[in-house]
Amino acid sequence: MARLHLLDLDGRLLLGTSAPVEISRQLGLEAETVALDREISAGLIGPPEYATRVHALWAELTEAHVAAAFEGAPWLARIHKVWAEIRDRGDYCAVVSLSPSFFVERLTGWDAHAAYGSRFPAVPFTQPVDPAGVLSAAAKVRIADQLCAGFGVPRADCVAYGDSSSDTDLFGAVPVSVAVNADRYLSGLATHSYMGGDLWEAYVLVRHAR
């Protein structure tokens, strides 16, 4: 039976940072976005307000900025090796993140079977962000179910990787989970825990787990 590996992006595949911070770094607006990350992590704002405010910061954003942010980001080691083995085993891997879709979807070029993010307008922006397209913790479970249906994989054969409160719903919905560089609360909800900078080391914890 095939398995589906569901991975978050910010703080997981990206080591110690988020896609919005890496994008903002290209515009000289890193500090402002780090402050927004702290607000959403503390529960002071929700995903729709975060998306609206970060969209306003990115008025000068271009595709060149996005490409530079993606290529220069501090990725976990051996992502390609993990995803290659997942494919070789006949399994599936997908990235589901609250970060902007125009960044997250670039991971399909790294052989992820699917990549979902919060829906933002095309870059450069000429339209506002639609709050209805911004993902939430609950939306991750909904997207996971859609992926399961598309790939023919039941929830019982899913593995989730995450590190923050946005992953709690998904961890509760699947039987196997890996807290990657996570806080104590999420680690307590996970079936496995990993601290470090190598996705392969996190993957081998659940390589044969059912």
| Strand locations in the chain (E) | 4-7, 92-100, 114-118, 158-162, 176-180, 192-194
pTM of the model: 0.94
Q: Is the pLDDT of residue 210 over 80?
A: no
pLDDT digits (tens, 9 = 90+) for 118-133: 999 999 999 999 999 9
- Token pair 């997250």 is at which residue? 104
Residue ranges of domains in the chain, CATH in brackets: 4-16+75-204 (3.40.50.1000)
CA-closest candidate to residue 22, choices 77, 76, 64, 74: 74
The whole-chain average pLDDT of the chain stands at: 95
Q: Is the pLDDT of residue 18 over 80?
A: yes
Q: Is the pLDDT of residue 102 over 70?
A: yes
Query: Cα dist. 202→3, 48, 169 in Å?
Result: 16, 31, 20
> How many CA atoms lie within 13 Å of 177's alpha carbon, on the beta-carbon side?
25
Q: Can you give the pLDDT at residue 166? A: 86
Q: Is the pLDDT of residue 147 over 90?
A: yes
Provide the token pair at 29.
């607006």
Q: Is the pLDDT of residue 184 over 90?
A: no
Q: Can you give the pLDDT at residue 112? A: 97
Dihedrals phi, psi of 114, to nearest 5 degrees = -155, 155
